Chain A
Amino acid sequence: MSEMLKEEWKKEIEIKIDDVCMSFKDNSGNDVQALNHINLAIHKGEFISLLGPSGCGKTTLLRTIADLLEPTTGKVRISGMTPKEIRLQQKFGIVFQSPVLFEWRTVKKNVELPLEIMYWSKEERSKQADKMLELVGLTKFADHYPKQLSGGMQQRVGIARAFGIKPNILLMDEPFSALDEFTKEKLHDDLLKMWRETNKTVIFVTHNIQEAVYLSDKVCVLSPHPGRLSAVVDIDLERPRNIRMKESQHFTDLVAKVRNSFEGGSL
């Protein structure tokens, strides 16, 4: 795909979050404002991070987009449809904090799971799973069981499974938070490569500033109590990104800019 066409795509708003509020009752019966009047527009093909400390509502916002939670007030529209309609069309790929692999299925069968639910034919399923496992570099482990794999490899299977259904939108909820730094850096580059090749819209939840800056086009900074969007920082690092960029002054400046945009200053 040419760069120009890609730019064209990016102009189209895909996800519109319109004045979304979310409140819970906590154990002692008090109202907790998890999300407070969130407004956000996400363009097609963008890589967006939702960044913030625990309790800022970033996961809640992601789950609202995924139709795993319903907002108390306000609405989310995705290509003009409700999240529920998009979910029922099976257009969401989700990667959670843990890989959520089914231990009774081989690696390949885990990747095939959503395709089975979507009634793909056996041959198509197998072909697609092979292709995805190749993308994440796990072809050799297709017939292994999840317990035989390291944490990083398990999370790769989760990513292969999410990309396998050809989703429009990829939602990732702190997918690398349990991994060591080396594995994490490798997976960052793998993820960016897959994103570049497939042109998905990615919403990536994290509490790691460097991670958010390195991966994203835009970093949405959320602050807690109540959970609110305090800034959206454009990340104009050139693409494709590489690990050397983390040593550049520009990267450091962006990280500082993001850090300074948390409301209440130091965390």
Chain B
Amino acid sequence: MIKRKKNVFVRFITNPKVQPFLSVILPVALGLFIFILWQTQVLHKLLHTDTFTLPLPSQINQIIGDNIPKIITNVKSTVLVAVIGLTIGSLIGYLIAVIATVFPKWGAGGLSIVAAFNAIPIVALAPVMTNWTKDVSKDASVRSMVAKILVVMIVSIATMSVNAYRGLNDLPVFSLDLMKSYAAKRRIVFLKLRLPNSVPYIFTALRVGVPSSVISAIVSEYFAEYITGVGRQIRENIVIAQYATAWAYIAVACIIGISMYCILMIFEGILLRNRRS
């Protein structure tokens, strides 16, 4: 009897029709479970903390609701930095990959140097950029913005150039021979083979680049001269011990990251829909 019950259960969870739902339901259930522990203060007991340092979800929600206009201003600032930095950085990164492909002799070597930018910590980069952009504008908000965009840009360049280079050069077997047999010129090979082949790799880069651009924007806000952005609000509120407000901005930062990632996934789903079996 018991054995039969187990079989039904195993059959249910391994059913291919049920699995997509399970892969959504299980993480959501886990999240809800943690929220319940948090809201009922079980979490506080486990972590030996109090509702002042770790405010309840209901409190955080309350603060978000009360400060919507102010939050929107800060979100705009952060998203603007992340999106502009990511866009410019990715374009430059792609361009570097193209140049490295066109000049293969030093291309791969040059690319490893660019890839090394990936290893520079944002925490180190942000103050340097703030210092470098001192004279860009008389307006503190503008020069802060430029400094933050530069940080996001540098982080994005490395990710994109390495992935795009792979997309431009990891071609299907025999595809170069095929193009050669058609006497296709380099320009044609680039336009009809390398470029379209690199599209999925662009998305691979953006899957890393989108979250890291939000993180870079938030961290660089900590060191910026002008006080604005979700990251800066987290810092300012922790300094004045407004933990509930700080947590509200942490929640908002999560939402920004998740929404931008979702938008990327939707674009990827549309643009790459034919490449999957």
Contacts and interface: CB of A to CB of B under 8 A. Distances in A.
Interface of A: 63, 66, 68, 87-90, 92, 94, 96-98, 100, 102-104, 106, 113-114, 116-118, 145, 147-148, 165
Contacts of B182: 90, 113-114, 117-118, 165
Interface of B is mostly: helix
Interface in B150-193: 172-175, 177-184, 188, 192-193
B274 interface: yes
B250 interface: no
B175 A66 contact: no
A100 B173 contact: yes
Nearest to B173: A98
B199 interface: yes
B178 A94 contact: yes
Contacts of A116: 192
Interface in B81-133: none
A192 to B, nearest CB: 23
Given A102-B196, A104-B199, A87 B172 contact: no
B5 interface: no
Contact of B275 (A66, A96, A147): A147
8 contacts: A87-B180, A90-B183, A97-B174, A102-B196, A106-B274, A116-B192, A145-B275, A147-B274
Contacts of B179: 117
B184 A100 contact: no
Contact of B177 (A90, A96, A106, A114): A96
Contacts of B277: 147-148
A186 to B, nearest CB: 22
Given A103-B275, A113-B182, A117-B188, 11 more contacts: A66-B181, A68-B181, A88-B183, A96-B177, A98-B173, A100-B173, A104-B197, A114-B182, A117-B179, A148-B277, A165-B182
